[in-house]
Amino acid sequence: MPVWLTTASMLVLSNLFMTYAWYGHLKTLESKPWYIAALISWCIALGEYMIQVPANRIGYTKLSLGELKIMQEAITLLVFIPFSIFFMNQSFKLDYVWAGLCIVGAVFFIFRGG
């Protein structure tokens, strides 16, 4: 499997963990005190770091730091939008499309090799 694909796959998985750690408690732990939500989120974030750190180390063997960062940002948006719509029951906004197009532009400029 190419390094970029391994890295991207691992970053998708790590983003699932982190998105839930950052925002899932707003729905699933809303009746708990904030410090309980924080402790649980930190435990979830540890799982995210156990995937994200090796993903970046693998990716950095072939990708630049800028390429890794913009890949992470694009994946974050790709994970966040379905999470917010399907898990958090937020409505779809056209602004998601515009934000996505901006990220696509950023990906183009970082990866064009210029």
- Residue 114's contacts (CB-CB under 8 Å, 6 or more residues apart) are none
Query: Band of the pLDDT at 114, cuts 50, 70, 90?
Result: low
Averaged confidence pLDDT in the chain: 94
- pLDDT for 111 equals 87
Q: Which two tokens stand for residue 15?
A: 């983003």
Let me know how long the chain is. Answer: 114
**pLDDT for the residue numbered 112:** 86
Most confident of 9-13, 98-102, 107-111: 9-13
